Chains A and B, each alone.
Chain A
Amino acid sequence: MADALSLAVADLHAFYGDSHVLHGVSLDIPAGECVTIIGRNGAGKTTTLRSIMGLIERRTGSIKVAGQDVIKAPPERIARLGVGYVPEERGIYATLDVTENLLLPRKINDRGMPLDDIYALFPNLKERRRSQGTRLSGGEQQMLAIARVLRTGASLFLLDEPTEGLAPVIVQQIGKAIELMKAQGHTIVLVEQNFHFATRIADRHYVMERGRIIDMIPRADVASQADKIQQYLGI
């Protein structure tokens, strides 16, 4: 079982240039829990993950990873605490082949998944290990983006829309990987548009609107609050 990391975000504000994007976001995620952040496009979900990762320069408030405040820390320090990031745009490097993409993130400890296990989980990646990263299909790129952070020994994962635009059979494979992360006791923050997918995996759902968290729905209440959720998502 991994040493999962807790994540506590309090009163997080973030800015892109002059525009104020996050207005006091708070999240409280104990170690080993899997939560989603749901909400419409432009609600601030991606910005929240980017802020936690240290990729938004202007941010205020507090972000604690396993109790350590990282609001002033650069991204590389946050990553080295054990945070694995799968960005929305996948972030596969064109100048690196598949293996090089996999080996790029620095190992944090020896508890990560061995390369052979990763290839067993995603056989496509093994087949294409000499291909240029961006020559992969969208689904394979997504697998690579997830595989890349599994190897490092990270135990808090920030996953930004890992199923976006993918065929159902690939969504299933991605789902399997995330369930495996969960089974290993890792903490997972999942931004997801596919609510059906999200409800299968997550313990709780944070609902975001206009840069604020407006509701929190535990797994048990999802069925009874279905109408409300549909309204939040604008379906």
Chain B
Amino acid sequence: MSSQVILGQLVVGLINGSFYALLSLGFAIIVGLLGIINVAQGTFYMLGAFGSWMLLNYLGIGYWPALILSPLGAAIVGMVLERTLISRVYHLDHIYGLLLTYGLMMFIMGTFIYFFATAGRPYPVPADLRGGFDLGFMFLPKYRAWVVLMALVFCFGTWFAIEKTALGRTLRAATENPNLTRAFGVNVPALLTFGFGVGVALAGFAGVMAAPIYSVSPLMGGDLVIVIFAVVVVGGMGSILGSIVTALSLGLLEGLTKVVYPPGSNMVIFVIMLIVLLVKPAGLFGRER
């Protein structure tokens, strides 16, 4: 087996891992802060992608503005849903949050299928990012390198914001002990809405990034959420660093499995999840309670 094939699959794995990282990062923030297992995370990814498609086809607004507008739009939709629906189940068992967001996912996806059918719609790679680099062992399109770079920038940025800033300090406190944090003058309900918005915006951003690669369809993101869930379980529920590191590693591992044993590549992430759950149930970076 040539090292060319291995390196090539590793790069593909890194790109997939970048999407896993952006999505599981948002998922981890939401589950940590709100205690909501947001099954609709993949739906917000789809909304981000569709947002950029609509901006381009209905309003003639291109990729670069869409990179900001589309996640912002997804975040607004998410925050309205959090205020009107999701906040009503905080005091109930986690399963209700899961069921509610599952319902939201089915509703939003169904609505989009009704209006747009399931066929993928192409989204052009922005002109500035066409072409690619010859790495010797493979041809790397510029756009895919851009995806990896942005994922790394956003992951590091989010980690930094949470671990090193005043806002992050407040977010961590509200995650650990929401009621007491209110007694210190922090408007925790508003913070939860904001946190949900951030988590959703990250998914929407991943969606815009994905549009030129995977084409835009109401079904995109539907199966991705299962991988995201596995990533967050392996990394440790709610651990920000855990989800970033796990997402990238599992992406790479998936790529590697494609070389060694192709049929196993869809399964390997879940095998890892099973092993981690048996050996270290709190996840690799999780805190035992």
Question: Which residues of A pack against B, CB within 8 Å?
Answer: 53-55, 74-76, 78-80, 85, 87, 91, 93-96, 100, 103-106, 108, 148, 152
Contact = CB atoms under 8 A, between A and B. Distances in A.
Interface string B67-94: 0000000000000000000000000000
A93 B177 contact: yes
B39 to A, nearest CB: 26
A95 B175 contact: yes
A76 B182 contact: yes
Contacts of B170: 104
A76 B172 contact: no
What's the interface size class on B, roughly?
Answer: 10 to 19
Contacts, number: 62
B280 interface: no
Interface of B: 166, 169-170, 172-173, 175-177, 179-189
A204 to B, nearest CB: 25
A93 B184 contact: no
**At the interface, is chain A mostly helix, strand, loop or mixed?**
loop
B179 A75 contact: yes
A76 B187 contact: yes
9 contacts: A75-B182, A76-B183, A76-B187, A79-B184, A79-B185, A93-B173, A103-B169, A104-B184, A148-B184
B173 A55 contact: no
Contact of A76 (B173, B177, B186): B186
B173 A79 contact: no
Given A55-B183, A79-B182, 19 more contacts: A54-B182, A55-B180, A55-B182, A74-B189, A75-B183, A76-B183, A76-B187, A78-B183, A79-B184, A93-B177, A94-B176, A95-B172, A96-B169, A96-B173, A104-B181, A105-B184, A106-B186, A152-B184, A152-B185
Contacts of A74: 182, 189
A91 B180 CA distance: 7
A55 B182 CA distance: 9
**Residue from B175, B180, B187 having most chain A Cβ neighbours under 10 A:** B180
